[in-house]
Structure 1
């Protein structure tokens, strides 16, 4: 398959034809994928199509998102800080003192202008399939935010099979909208990753018939819990993780060093709750199977991405399509199936026996130990402003559009840079509200960086906060008693050495920069009682 693709990247004739047409855009978002899960970032999970994509494009090794799903998606589609456009908090975790405040609507508010709407006005056919999580009502659906065609999961998660089971006792049913209208029942052969791919392929075909360029937003729900995969993929992964957390973590670090992503002494130490050798054989079997199913989901997602690439190639569209792949946040270490208010419902509703794990009717997650492996070489996970929570794998490819081929970039980029870049590619002026910078000149080798060295970047979610300028990063977890910590990411990307006490003036300056960021974006710090289900 790869050999076939390598010959299709940018033939001279196709490149000449592509120059006369507006480029297509394929934006692929994985859900809760860790930094080191895929092969281009050191992972052992078979992902040949993403490896091919990285070989044909540019791996963005210093790319940042939000600590969690909806805020990242809001910035990805609107080009603004998530506090400004309705997602200062996740709906599931909004604090009482945030309810009703501007920027905390938990849907895309009136200050937002979606990149899909702008591209549609410019003549693009716009389509999305997968996780929306940006408002449940029809007036807040993809159809109301610039998408001509859409099939959207409204909640943050749901069963990947057609049973439409939800993931919380308070939300026992997963809901979908197609083109704004509620879906009463899913097809009997529904499986999320395959179905969303089919939907996007149909939209691409429609764009060909209408002779329009397309903007396709493929928002997979893999590998988000509940961890589920078709039997064939689960069988492929059997035995892959019998060596345990520590062994897989060390193997990933070694591969990242070979790739040049990591240097000796830079990784954050992984803290596992139990040593693999101290577990009983039964516990090891359960733990290994959790990660097998997770990896099966990633492997299937890669296969489906390959199916889209083949479809583009077969239709003559590959050379004129910019492909972006990234994750929405870091690896997920939380296990909602074990939450006190959720566990009784899970026990009544699902069959989580070893034999049924990963099949329809099961509901499992993989927990903090495997999340530490997925986040390697960084510490922290989803929900955290540590590097493991906000630094994500990202790839951009489009050789015929001038994107560098087979290279890696260490330039700092953020999720808000992508909407500006997509509009620039399409020849559409970005609104003044869009606050990112286009990555295109850098991706084409014309500029050494995207952002100036002195630029500042702020984060806040559920009380966790961070400020970065250059290689300096100041961060503080959500606890009111927690102190600011300062790290030099050039020397210590794993955030293992707090130097705030040694550089108090620098720490104070960055803390003041964070306060300015919070004031400019309307951040409302949550009351502790409001965080969590």
Structure 2
């Protein structure tokens, strides 16, 4: 009968057609470029010998000589934000990972790994994550409990895990500053952080970056027949300064002793170890590149070498001004090279277009011919057409905020805004930011300030060094019980002598979009330098700081809290204040209280009510509203500050 034969013939034709399609897809897969993105840690502009650094980095130099150097490539001045910029293409403040380190990257954020995976790529990450916490698995929970058995109340805050962000294969550690040898703990505290996907592997031995390189090469080898995205965030040259004996022997300590360091306190031994670490990194970069060449993949692999921020204390960002923990270009302008022979990125050329980690998600999607996935609104731009054709960059500006300042960088200008001044630099003629031309260019300052304000408004930033926008201003509204703190200050107490009294706790995480607001009043005899409210503990702070420092605790009237301002309206008893908390985010803001300063003897009282955190969505978290919220710390009286009394009184008893 003809029907069965027709059916078989039809099926055969479908199989043949499918085979043709499959072959086409396979061929297309083979033509898609691979991506290897190497991000060093705390490696500054002047750490590489290609930029005049004193430590020979011949393999990285060779990469620069055969690729295209991105001379105006921006990141952040610390680890986590730059990594989040790469992963999401969004400003780190927008994703809750800046300006300081820390923050758990939300699952709602679409990552570059998810983008590549949706386009048929195999994805892997090998090294330092620092965009979230170790996952909460039974084995890790047991290790956590053992490590902190002396702190039984310490709570494990488990993270999502790196695989949940689109990575098929991962060999990583989650924090920052961990030991390089075997015990990958941070400053000796807590359990080891070393994982293969969701498998906790505290037993693995070896130098961290050697393990990272070994696993990255293994991934490349296993993925050679399919396009892959291989993200290699090295740990070198982050503290602690630790190097292998062989690398130390390869570096002449006398040569290392002559090296410039970002900190004058760096010892000759530290310089030697740091130089040996750079040597080790150079060898590992060479090993990855050699594997690509061995497998015949180097021609169609986009190989990137960059850093996450400027040099640490033992390193160098010269000739640029600043280093890690600074938003001068030495802290945020990163040594970066792209090499992709098939795409024309060869020859030791330079491209001077403004770009950076923020632009890498859309740019690498464009370079690989991949479809950009659906994401939340991006801040980064696809710079590939401009890079390919050697044209000006489509990126208009990069915006940074850091502790007591914010800054904007364009292709020509860099404007820094502090509490009480501006600094403007013509980057084209003065890329070391040596000659402040703000006074000579008021219109430029005005124009760039407007752009900074637009960035800040877009991000919902709560700037600690600038007054809160008018929409946040409100009248004081104390009622019922209010907090009263009384202290007797001796005649021997000088203005530099201070007493911090903890009064309230908060176990939540504070972000750069959070404000602290409160109602405040003073006893009639209060001196000119009034007591003031301050956060006392937060990210990168010592307990009972106080955290507000000059230029980081400015209220809506433009007054720095550290100077102890009184009530702006002399006819009022109470005043409402709101202060931005961007300077210490993200992280815990555990303790809140008041600060008394010396300079005038007597007994003085400060009153507080309605102490709360205001979030970007308009919601608030109460910190102190009445007697039950009082969490007085273990403060001690001394020769300068005595008779400390923390109590509540009725608002009607507070007089001018």
Aligned-partner Cα distance in 1 for 2:539–2:197: 33
Question: TM-score normalized by structure 1?
Answer: 0.74
Q: Within the alignment, does 1:390 sit opposite 2:410 as a pair?
A: no
- Within 5 Å, give how 1:222-371 maps onto structure 2: 222-241=236-255, 244-245=258-259, 248=260, 273=264, 287-333=267-313, 366=314, 371=315
Tell me the SS of whatever aligns to 1:73.
Answer: helix
- Report if the CA contact (8 A) 2:99-2:401 is conserved: no
Quote the residue 1:426 is aligned against: 368
Quote the residue 2:454 is aligned against: 516
User: Which 10-residue stretch deviates more, 214-223 or 56-65?
Assistant: 56-65
Aligned-partner Cα distance in 1 for 2:43–2:191: 24
- Residue number among 126, 144, 150 corresponding to 1:129 in the alignment: 126
* Cα displacement (A) at 1:414: 1.6
Aligned-partner Cα distance in 1 for 2:400–2:386: 24
Tell me the SS of whatever aligns to 1:509.
Answer: helix
- Residue number among 406, 430, 448 corresponding to 2:391 in the alignment: 448
- Report if the CA contact (8 A) 2:124-2:231 is conserved: yes
Quote the residue 1:54 is aligned against: 64
Distance 1:83 1:509, change over 3 A: same
- Report if the CA contact (8 A) 1:378-1:387 is conserved: yes
Q: Within the alignment, does 1:490 sit opposite 2:416 as a pair?
A: no
Aligned-partner Cα distance in 1 for 2:458–2:61: 40
Distance 1:173 1:157, change over 3 A: farther
- Report if the CA contact (8 A) 2:256-2:275 is conserved: no
Tell me the SS of whatever aligns to 1:80.
Answer: coil
- Report if the CA contact (8 A) 1:193-1:220 is conserved: yes
Quote the residue 1:86 is aligned against: 96
Quote the residue 1:149 is aligned against: 169
User: Which 10-residue stretch deviates more, 171-180 or 48-57?
Assistant: 171-180
* Cα displacement (A) at 1:214: 0.9
Question: TM-score normalized by structure 2?
Answer: 0.61
Tell me the SS of whatever aligns to 2:337.
Answer: strand
- Residue number among 178, 197, 205 corresponding to 1:158 in the alignment: 178
Q: Within the alignment, does 1:220 sit opposite 2:161 as a pair?
A: no
- Report if the CA contact (8 A) 2:72-2:333 is conserved: yes
Q: Within the alignment, does 1:466 sit opposite 2:407 as a pair?
A: yes
* Cα displacement (A) at 1:298: 1.0
* Cα displacement (A) at 1:469: 3.1
* Cα displacement (A) at 1:412: 1.6
- Report if the CA contact (8 A) 2:184-2:192 is conserved: yes
Q: Within the alignment, does 1:195 sit opposite 2:133 as a pair?
A: no
* Cα displacement (A) at 1:149: 0.4
Quote the residue 1:75 is aligned against: 85
* Cα displacement (A) at 1:173: 4.1
In structure 1, runs of 5+ residues without a counterpart are 1-16, 93-105, 250-269, 275-285, 334-365
Quote the residue 1:181 is aligned against: 199
Aligned-partner Cα distance in 1 for 2:257–2:54: 13
Quote the residue 1:39 is aligned against: 49
More helix by percentage: 1
Larger radius of gyration: 2
Distance 1:215 1:137, change over 3 A: same
- Report if the CA contact (8 A) 2:88-2:112 is conserved: yes
Residues 206-239 of structure 1, C-alpha deviations (whole Å, 9 max, x = no match): 213xx31111001100010101111010011133
Distance 1:41 1:91, change over 3 A: closer
* Cα displacement (A) at 1:503: 2.0
Tell me the SS of whatever aligns to 1:29.
Answer: strand
Quote the residue 2:654 is aligned against: none
Tell me the SS of whatever aligns to 2:87.
Answer: helix
- Report if the CA contact (8 A) 1:404-1:443 is conserved: no
* Cα displacement (A) at 1:137: 4.4
* Cα displacement (A) at 1:320: 1.4
Distance 1:90 1:180, change over 3 A: farther
Aligned-partner Cα distance in 2 for 1:516–1:293: 44
* Cα displacement (A) at 1:83: 1.1
Aligned-partner Cα distance in 1 for 2:107–2:285: 34
Aligned-partner Cα distance in 2 for 1:91–1:224: 14
Distance 1:503 1:119, change over 3 A: same
User: Which 10-residue stretch deviates more, 51-60 or 236-245?
Assistant: 236-245
Distance 1:107 1:242, change over 3 A: closer
Residues 339-362 of structure 1, C-alpha deviations (whole Å, 9 max, x = no match): xxxxxxxxxxxxxxxxxxxxxxxx
Quote the residue 1:403 is aligned against: 345
* Cα displacement (A) at 1:417: 1.5
Quote the residue 2:354 is aligned against: 412
Distance 1:135 1:463, change over 3 A: farther
* Cα displacement (A) at 1:468: 2.3
Residues 130-177 of structure 1, C-alpha deviations (whole Å, 9 max, x = no match): 000001143532101000000111111201000233227xx4444123
* Cα displacement (A) at 1:504: 2.3
* Cα displacement (A) at 1:398: 1.0
Aligned-partner Cα distance in 2 for 1:172–1:19: 43
Aligned-partner Cα distance in 1 for 2:288–2:264: 40
Tell me the SS of whatever aligns to 1:329.
Answer: coil
Q: Which has the higher contact order (CA 8 A, sep 6+)?
A: 1
- Report if the CA contact (8 A) 1:155-1:174 is conserved: no
More strand by percentage: 2
